[in-house]
Chains A and B, each alone.
Chain A
Amino acid sequence: MFGGESKAAVVNSETGIQKSKDNPGSPKIHFCKLLNCENERPADSELKRLWKSVEQKMAVVPSGRVALQEIGVTVDESNRFSDSMRLQQSQVESFYMDKTAVTNADFLQFVKAGCYEDTQLWDQNIWSKVTQMVDQSGQPGPKFWHNGKPPRELMEHPVVGICWYEAKAYAQWVGKQLPTAGQWQRAATWHHTDQDEGSITKFTWGGIYETQYANAWASGIGSTAPVDEYYDGATPNGIFQLIGNTWEWIDGPFEFQNQPENQNDLVEIRGGAFDTYLDSQMTCQFRSGQSRSHRSPNLGFRCIVPVKNLHRP
């Protein structure tokens, strides 16, 4: 099993690919793929090399508490809905998070590896849906690709047009997981307060929205940007674009408190995107949702792996 509760670990040799003189046009690969070493543990020298790659591509987020906003909806005497907001404290253990969102170049490796045909990566209940996860030319892949490939100029942009199931399958393939709401929020706020009371830090860089720190509607770009831009908006441990550029899939349902369970098929999304209009809706605390099978041009993901799941060499 990759990256699960049993001690799995570390990376393959694909991680070190960078732009080089020999291959100047090649896209940067931002992901590292974890190995299952339950049965066969690599040599320590190999593990050291691979660990270096993890530390280049992922950032450690220390353990701590987060205050998640619970969105409640109540009906008043005149039968009108009103919001109620409650903070729910949650303890998060330390974990590694991808420094950047998964890029088109990263996701291309997943497509090339034939993962859409690998039934082990997909829940049996959605096998029929997987056949419909095709690009503009009918090939398996993200919605806005053509012939199983992303546009060349967008290789280092976040992959979009993928549903929650595709994000989940990719995460499983690289031996990682999608972050939970608590993990995502901890990654965005850990450096401001241990308690993360919610009102202290709205954005990864501070309390006031700055158009030059994140790609949102107010930036006026109107599309995705490469995943390693907006350096000033990154967290101190180098996690880019938690705010803006694309919404990110979260591993957990989006529910309103007080509402019957399973009333909708929504999964939580976080962070806002290039087309998010209100800056109050792209804070570290704001929670929104989207249907699991939704494939939109402003929704991508990144992965995490709990520290406890990794072996040190």
Chain B
Amino acid sequence: MSSKAINWMDERSILHCITCGAQIIDSGTYCTSCETPIQVSRSVANRNTPARLISVLGASGAGKTVYLGMLLDMLNKGTGGLRGLPNGAFSLGVQEQTITALENRRFPEKTPSEADHWQWVHCETFDEKSPKRKIDLITPDLAGEALALELEKSNTFPTIRTMLRNVEGVVILFDSERVKVAPRSEDIFGVKLVSYLADVNQRPTKERRNKIRLPMSFVFTKADVCADAEDDPQHFAKTHLPGLLQFCERRFERFEFFAASVVGGSTALTDNYGAQIQIPLHVQPRCIVEPLHWVMRQMDKRLWKGVI
């Protein structure tokens, strides 16, 4: 929508989309340019301070919903010096869905591929030592299949592209067991994802000799069933994801590997058709907040150096 067309409206009803920056009318549902829900932009606009975005990404089945839900719940309670406040009721959906499922010894339902079914999250996160420096954990709980499609063909999901162009940090999840069993395909997916990030975060030609400063933390999820990843995530990455590691070393300035788990035990049950379903036995979060905290510290360094 052109700015002329909305001149007649009260300025207070005009927002800027949090992901693509387009002018949007507050009464709508989605940004017409990138399809980000307007409630996300509204929650930032109500705050009157600029947004600094971090997103959580991962392939299908990497455990994004569980990780994100647990992360939000832990941030709400305050963990490891980090605290987070959900901005808007919509931000509680993933958290509620995850905790309710785990309490009932289930993993949450699989996230649908359609963008309008994704639950969005906006959590103002801050280090308790410097509570005024807020970072916005703004991310859709997007389906891994959608991310894969976007990597294959750019702009299939405009939300993903615009969001990743504007993030200042990312947390990228890999299923550690799948990395161990099928390292080649996970490595290829990882390289595709970071090349996409490199592409959308490309600086002007003059700066291209420098490495990209976007901080990325790679998290091997479900580490409770993969001792190799849990013991030494850096070495695990070197052994199983050599392509990804090489690409990151060449193009990115800051990245780190972590191993995380939400449950302390799980077991597989077989259904009537012989398919196996994992049942979580008890919740015992490990290294959930640390990857985000690391990214936030890197973002602070960038600010301090006046890079942004």
A275 and B285 in contact (CB under 8 A), knowing A263-B270, A264-B267, A266-B267? yes
- B284, closest chain A residue (CB): A275
Q: Please, how many angstroms separate the alpha-carbon atoms of A272 and B106 in the complex? A: 18
Q: How far is the CA of A288 from the CA of B267 in the complex (A)?
A: 11
Closest chain A CB from B163 CB (angstroms): 30
**Residue in chain B with minimal CB distance to A294:** B265
Can you list, as one digit per residue, whether each of A277-297 has a CB less than 8 Å from chain B (1) or not (0)? 110110000101111001010
Are A278 and B267 neighbours in the complex by a CB distance under 8 Å? no
B265 CB contacts on chain A under 8 angstroms: 266, 288-291, 294
- Asked if residues A277 and B105 are in contact (CB atoms below 8 Å), the reply is no
Query: Are B103 and A256 touching (Cβ within 8 A)?
Result: no
Query: Within the assembled complex, what's the spacing in Å between the Cα atoms of A296 and B225?
Result: 12
With a CB–CB cut-off of 8 A, which chain B residues contact A73?
Answer: 269, 279
* A217 to B282 Cα, complex, angstroms: 13
Interface string of B263-278 (1 = CB under 8 A from A): 0110111111100010
Interfacial chain A residues near B269, Cβ < 8 Å:
73, 81, 256, 259, 263
Residues of B within 8 A of A171 (CB): none
A278 touches B102 (CB 8 A): yes
* A43 touches B (CB below 8 Å): no
Cβ–Cβ < 8 Å partners of A83 in chain B: 104-105
Binary interface encoding of chain B residues 93-120 relative to chain A, with 1 for a CB under 8 A from any of its CBs, else 0: 0000001001111100000000000000
Shortest distance from the beta carbon of A298 to any chain B beta carbon, whole Å = 7
B283 touching A75, Cβ below 8 Å: no
| Bound: A277/B269 CA distance, A | 24
Please classify the interface of chain A as helix (H, G, I), strand (E, B), loop, or mixed, using the class held by over half of its residues: loop
Contact, CB under 8 Å: B277 / A81: yes
How far, in angstroms, from A266 to B267 measured CA to CA in the complex? 8
Q: Is the CB of A278 within 8 A of B283?
A: yes
Q: Are B284 and A75 in contact (CB under 8 A)?
A: no
A280 and chain B: residue at smallest CB distance: B103
Docked-complex contact B282 and A281, CB < 8 angstroms: yes
Q: Which 5 A-B pairs have the closest CB atoms?
A: A277-B283, A288-B282, A288-B281, A281-B282, A275-B284
Size bracket, chain B contacts: 20 to 34
Bound Cα distance from A83 to B212, whole angstroms? 49
B283→A281 contact, CB < 8 A: yes
- Contact residues in A for B273 (Cβ distance below 8 Å): 79
Q: Does A224 contact B (CB under 8 A)?
A: no
Residues of A contacting B103 in the complex (Cβ-Cβ under 8 angstroms): 278, 280-281
Is the CB of B286 closer than 8 A to any CB of chain A?
A: yes
Contacts of B271 in A (CB 8 A): 75, 79, 81
Q: Which residues of chain B are near A71, meaning CB under 8 Å? A: 105
- Encode contact with B along A213-243: 1 for CB under 8 Å, 0 otherwise: 0000110000000000000000000000000
- Contacts A263-B270, A278-B103, A280-B103 given: A289-B281 contact, CB under 8 Å? yes
Question: Is A53 positioned at the interface, with any CB of B under 8 Å from its CB?
Answer: no
Q: How far is the CA of A272 from the CA of B277 in the complex (A)?
A: 24
Taking each of A73, A254, A256, A277, which has the highest tally of chain B beta carbons within 10 Å of its own beta carbon? A277
Q: Compute how far the CA of A224 lies from the CA of B272 in the bound complex, rounded to whole angstroms.
A: 42
In the assembled complex, the CB of A169 is this many whole angstroms from the nearest CB of chain B, namely 22
Contacts A79-B273, A288-B265, A298-B264 given; indicate if A277 touches B281 (C-beta within 8 A). no
For residues 247 through 297 of chain B, which have their beta carbon under 8 Å from a beta carbon of chain A? 264-265, 267-273, 277, 279, 281-286
Give the CA-CA distance A95 to B285 in the complex, in Å. Answer: 35
What are 19 A-B contacts defined by CB distance under 8 Å? A73-B269, A73-B279, A79-B273, A81-B269, A81-B277, A81-B279, A217-B284, A256-B267, A256-B269, A256-B279, A259-B269, A260-B270, A275-B286, A276-B264, A286-B282, A288-B265, A289-B281, A290-B281, A296-B264
